[in-house]
């Protein structure tokens, strides 16, 4: 049975708890890479779960949410596919992933009713750990209605999420993939005014929707957005990140590891010498820190179902972050690796398709069978 560790905060006020880390986080946020040249010889990445003593002892990196006075850790936990299991399946690994993130200082979790059983597991884990009200929950609405401007479906979805997550108020509710955006975003703004949610959001994971997302930002319709952004896919820089910076909109980024495809590209390759200058001890930290390095980014959402990979990911939350010159060098290094340019043609989670067989994949498989 899960017990709440003694060193976890007991404050029930989420803002108070998150704010307590801001002073220390500001120190980390100002950490700048001092040199652009590595001095060590190439070496294999560190074993899973290891982290440099300096990085582990440093403060958690935090960022202010756009124009608000609230700060969040620069790393969050994503749950799409990775947290979707068939009912009755063993969830010990997912519980441990959640614990490792929280123990490391992560306070942002992103989920959605669309993510199969992921929302249920997130709510159960956080409640058992006694930290539900200390977390910043990013959730989503994927809804139309029986007729134009009908809010009944959206309202039912939000109420279901509140029950699953055991939260009175959701921190940010996104119009998921901009579905029914012309009706949902105004509805979210009303819900915010009524005190049902704290922030209005919109989320995408495909480049084709970036211009629409940027338009919402330009019109001051959202407080926080979520967008796909990685060392491979930098399309969000063209409009979305610039608009968010100009308007003071918070930015959560998804797919920093490109659904396992970046790791496949560098499989068997050592980290470059200069990775030590940003305290990146494995490829996960290399890729996550690259995304964190953009000044418009508030929090990078990194998903996994593997506790060892979780231990690698959370190391990116401490230590020096790459400046623009270093980020350019990191990108050039990746561009020199064979296969990198063709990453988009690769299947999500290469060699791991059998791992994520929850209700989503079960339904997809059943539909394919019926169509054949």
d(CA 176, CA 159): 16
For residues 267 and 47, the model is more confident at 267
Maximum Cα–Cα distance across the chain: 64
The number of helices, as runs of H, and strands, as runs of E, in the chain is 14, 10
Give me the pLDDT at residue 319, please.
96
DSSP string covering 198-261: EEEEEE--SGGGHHHHHHHHHTT--SEEEEE--SS--GGGTTHHHHHHHHT-EEEEE-TTTTTH
Phi and psi based region of residue 321 (left: phi greater than 0; alpha: psi -120 to 50; beta: remaining): beta
Angle between helices 92-103 and 307-314 in degrees, nearest 10: 10
Domain boundaries, the chain: 17-24+62-371
Give me the pLDDT at residue 57, please.
56
Pairing of strands 224-228, 197-203: parallel
Tell which residue, 286, 284, 258, 261, has the closest CA to residue 272. Answer: 286
- Give the predicted TM-score (pTM) of the model: 0.86
In the block, which residue shows the tokens 């953009």? 294
3 state DSSP class of 12: coil
- Does residue 35 have a pLDDT over 60? no
Give me the pLDDT at residue 355, please.
86
Helix (H) / strand (E) containing 270: none
Cβ neighbors of 6 (< 8 A, separation 6 or more) are: none
Cβ neighbors of 160 (< 8 A, separation 6 or more) are: 113
pLDDT mean over 32-37: 32
Instruction: Name which of 19-23, 68-72, 300-304, 337-341 the model is least confident about.
Output: 19-23
pLDDT tens for each residue of 95-151:
999 999 999 999 999 999 999 999 999 999 999 999 999 999 999 999 999 998 899
Cβ neighbors of 69 (< 8 A, separation 6 or more) are: none
Tell me the pLDDT band of 353, cut-offs 50, 70 and 90.
Answer: confident
pLDDT mean over 276-284: 98
DSSP for residue 288: H
Q: How far is CA 332 from the centre of its chain?
A: 24
The CATH number, out of the four listed (3.20.20.100, 3.30.360.10, 3.40.640.10, 3.30.1480.10), of the domain defined by the range 17-24+62-371 = 3.20.20.100
Mean pLDDT in the chain?
Answer: 87
d(CA 251, CA 243): 11
Cβ neighbors of 308 (< 8 A, separation 6 or more) are: 48, 49
Q: How far is CA 241 from the centre of its chain?
A: 16
């Amino acid at each position: 049975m899960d017990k709440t560790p003694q060193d976890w905060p007991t404050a029930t006020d989420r803002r108070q708890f998150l704010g307590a880390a801001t002073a220390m986080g500001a120190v980390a946020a100002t950490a700048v890479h001092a040199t652009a040249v590595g001095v060590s010889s190439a070496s294999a990445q560190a074993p899973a779960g290891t982290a440099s003593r300096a990085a582990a002892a440093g403060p958690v990196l935090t960022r202010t949410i756009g124009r608000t006075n609230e700060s969040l850790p620069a790393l969050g936990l994503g749950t799409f596919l990775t947290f979707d299991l068939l009912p009755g399946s063993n969830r010990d690994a997912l519980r441990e992933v959640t614990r490792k993130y929280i123990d490391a200082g992560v306070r942002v979790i992103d989920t959605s009713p669309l993510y199969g059983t992921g929302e249920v597991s997130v709510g159960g884990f956080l409640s058992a750990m006694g930290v539900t009200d200390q977390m910043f929950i990013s959730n989503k609405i994927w809804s139309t209605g029986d007729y134009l401007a009908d809010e009944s479906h959206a309202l039912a979805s939000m109420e279901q999420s509140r029950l699953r997550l055991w939260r009175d108020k959701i921190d940010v509710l996104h119009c998921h993939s901009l579905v029914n955006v012309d009706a949902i975003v105004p509805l979210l703004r009303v819900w915010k005014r009524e005190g049902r949610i704290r922030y209005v959001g919109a989320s995408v994971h495909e480049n084709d929707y970036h211009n629409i997302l940027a338009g919402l930002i330009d019109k001051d319709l959202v407080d926080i957005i979520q967008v796909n952004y990685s060392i491979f896919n930098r399309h969000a820089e063209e409009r979305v990140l610039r608009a968010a910076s100009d308007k003071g909109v918070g930015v959560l980024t998804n797919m920093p590891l490109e659904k396992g495809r970046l790791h496949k590209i560098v499989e068997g390759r050592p980290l470059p010498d200069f990775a030590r200058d940003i305290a990146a001890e494995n490829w996960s930290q290399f890729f996550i820190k690259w995304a964190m390095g953009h000044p418009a980014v508030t929090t990078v959402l990194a998903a996994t179902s593997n506790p060892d990979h979780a231990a690698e990911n959370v190391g990116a939350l401490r230590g020096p972050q790459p400046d623009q010159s270093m980020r350019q060098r990191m990108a050039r290094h990746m561009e020199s690796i064979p296969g990198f340019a063709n990453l988009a043609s690769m299947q999500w989670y290469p060699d791991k398709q059998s791992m994520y067989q929850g209700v989503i994949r079960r339904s997809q498989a059943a539909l394919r069978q019926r169509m054949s």
